[in-house]
Amino acid sequence: MYRDGACEACGWRIGWVPVAQHSDGTSTFVREPRHKFLTAEILLTTLVGAIAFIAGVAEGAAAGIVFGPLMMLAGVVAWKKTRLGKVWQGLPSGDRCAALPGLAIGTIIALMLIPVTIMIVAVFAMLPKARDL
């Protein structure tokens, strides 16, 4: 794959998406759109890993001390391979496989945060009604 440079034949680079192919054989490319959820999942993985490690050290919990750095490592590798969450479609399969653990952990954390967010919003919505009682 063309990790640093462009393809000599067509000019494609990692992170570019083809939009048109001209009759003379040249192609037109645009930058891949920013993946906001990809970035959020990687950020969640890295932050929760750091929090788990700090909590594990503070409480003396072996799980936090072991799994915290592993989560941070998965997040950092995902940051590096996806170029800070900017590239996914044009990545080689090896880079995608390296970024998947960080994305999977971030997805699980994000899915766990949805019910928590709903409960917090519901509590704040009920507070004015509870004050009237």
The DSSP bridge partners found for residue 30 are: 17
Same domain as 25, residue 40: no
CB atoms within 10 A of CB 25: 8
Same domain as 88, residue 26: no
pTM: 0.74
- The count of structural domains within the chain is 2
Task: Dump pLDDT digits (tens) for 6-39.
Answer: 777 777 777 777 777 777 777 788 888 878 888 8
Same domain as 53, residue 19: no
Q: How many residues does the chain have?
A: 133
Same domain as 27, residue 40: no
Same domain as 41, residue 62: yes
Same domain as 11, residue 46: no
Distance CA 121, CA 67 (A): 30
CB atoms within 10 A of CB 112: 11
Residue-number span of the structural domain to which 13 is assigned: 1-31
Task: Dump pLDDT digits (tens) for 63-99.
Answer: 999 999 999 999 999 999 988 888 888 788 888 899 9
